[in-house]
Structure 1
Amino acid sequence: MITMKNIIREGNPILRQRANKVEFPLSPEDKKLAQDMMEFLENSQNEEIAEKYGLRAGVGLAAPQLAVSKRMTAVLVPGTTEEQDPLFKHVLINPTILSESVQMVALGEGEGCLSVDREVPGYVPRHNRIKLRWYDLDGNEHQARLNGYEAIVVQHELDHLNGVLFYDHINKNNPFVIPKDMLILE
């Protein structure tokens, strides 16, 4: 079971490297890693389990955050109510953004990261809509159009695969500047 002690923190050079493409068929180790990453997200979103193991809640976890330089990430965006199915729940292997909107968006409360143990205030501009392609554990290709929060989460995770951390996007001179036409999600 992945816990917070398995997640590397900012300052580790692996977080700043471009991750390597994953080859198919997946090795048993890669399949286990993918399943373990999704299990971490499920556990982190379960208040009882999270408290028991000291897990910070997460909606995404990328292999580089576990010191594995591979283009693989798990995303679990919960539904808006407890009974609702997740809005987006997938392990993404070799994900690629095929297209993105001109319209930008940022979370009003800013972004956080399991690899960053401090608050970094400021807006993180992201594309409001993206078209995503990825492969599942069996090598099947998938595509989805995402917008708003789901698009933000996926872009944050894809940044991890490219050696980018969320605060790299924050305007250094004015962290709360709102570029023209950017939406703020509260």
Structure 2
Amino acid sequence: MAKLEILTYPNPVLREVSKPVEKFTPEVTAKLKKLAEDMLETMYDANGIGLAAPQVGELVRMLVIDCRPKGESGRYEIGDMTELEQQVTQPLVLINPEIVKGEGKTTFDEGCLSVPSFFETVERFEKVEVKAFDVNGKEIRFTTDGLLAIVVQHEMDHLEGTLFIDHISFTKSNKIKNTIKKSGYPTKEEMKSARDRKKEPVK
């Protein structure tokens, strides 16, 4: 396994439309398995819960997800997961994913590893039925809601060259883009310091 570079906005690759996997030959499957392993390692290292192939410079319709909640012990816990979420085995590796059906509406404060340190409220389907393939070309189908449904939709956007900042108002989106253009992104140390400050008790 190897950690990959996560591309950040405004890298033009993030605006490209990814290509589907046409055939699952042994050679293709081997490449997909390696990419999936590297993407998962990269996602975990960045404390992310989802990552799409275009974010690491690969324009293929593939994404990885693991949004299981962790307790203080670092172990995964299912207490905060919905019944539908609990029925889906994670981590997920989805190739050529499609949303067969979307129901309801929900909102969530989304962030993105490709737009680090920014968060905005985005509206999504509340429940989705998903069809995809695993790295061996076997079809996967599941219906989910909760955080998993949101993450699936967020990561699938990347396959179309869409970012979460495209789902918010023009004014808010422009403010984020202008801030990035003017000041860039905070360093890892600055982001850690900001997270630590949030954890401090209110005085």
**Is TM (by shorter chain) over 0.5?**
yes
Deviations 1:46-77 (Å, cap 9, x if unpaired)? Answer: xxxxxxxxxx3100111100111000000111
Of structures 1 and 2, the one with the larger relative CO (CA 8 A, separation 6+) is 1
The residue aligned with 2:122 is 124
Q: How big is the shift at 1:78?
A: 1.4
Report the more deviating stretch, 69-78 or 31-40: 31-40
- Structure 2 portions without partners, runs of 5+: 79-84, 174-203
Shift of the alpha carbon at 1:30? 2.4
TM-score between the two structures when normalised by the length of structure 1: 0.77
Aligned to 2:185: none
Query: Equivalent residue for 1:38?
Result: 40
SS at match of 1:123: strand
Deviation, 1:36, is 1.2
Deviation per CA, 1:14-36, whole angstroms, max 9, x where unpaired? 11111000131224322201121
Q: CA deviation at 1:137?
A: 0.9
| Paired residue secondary structure (1:91) | strand
Residues in 2 aligned to 1:90 and 1:20: alpha-carbon distance in whole angstroms: 19
Q: Are 1:11 and 2:10 matched, yes or no?
A: yes
- Relative to the length of structure 2, the TM-score reads 0.71
Q: Name the count of aligned residue pairs.
A: 157
Q: Which residue of 1 aligns with 2:65?
A: 75
Structure 1: which 5+ residue stretches go unaligned?
45-55, 176-186
Larger Rg: 2
Q: CA separation in 1, counterparts of 2:59 and 2:166?
A: 20
Aligned to 1:151: 149
With 61-70 and 111-120 compared, the bigger mean Cα shift is at 111-120
1:34-113 to structure 2, matched below 5 A, reads 34-41=36-43, 43-44=44-45, 56-79=46-69, 81=71, 82-84=75-77, 87=86, 88-101=90-103, 103-107=104-108, 110-113=109-112
Match of 2:170 in 1: 172
1:124-143 to structure 2, matched below 5 A, reads 124-143=122-141
**In structure 2, C-alpha distance between the alignment counterparts of 1:8 and 1:173, rounded to whole Å:** 24
| Distance in 2 of aligned mates of 1:32 and 1:154 | 21
% identity of equivalent residues: 37
Which amino acid is the alignment partner of residue 2 of structure 1?
K
Q: Distance in 2 between matches of 1:83 and 1:162?
A: 31
More helix by share: 2
Matched-pair contact (CA < 8 Å) for 1:128–1:147: yes
Report deviation, 1:158: 0.2
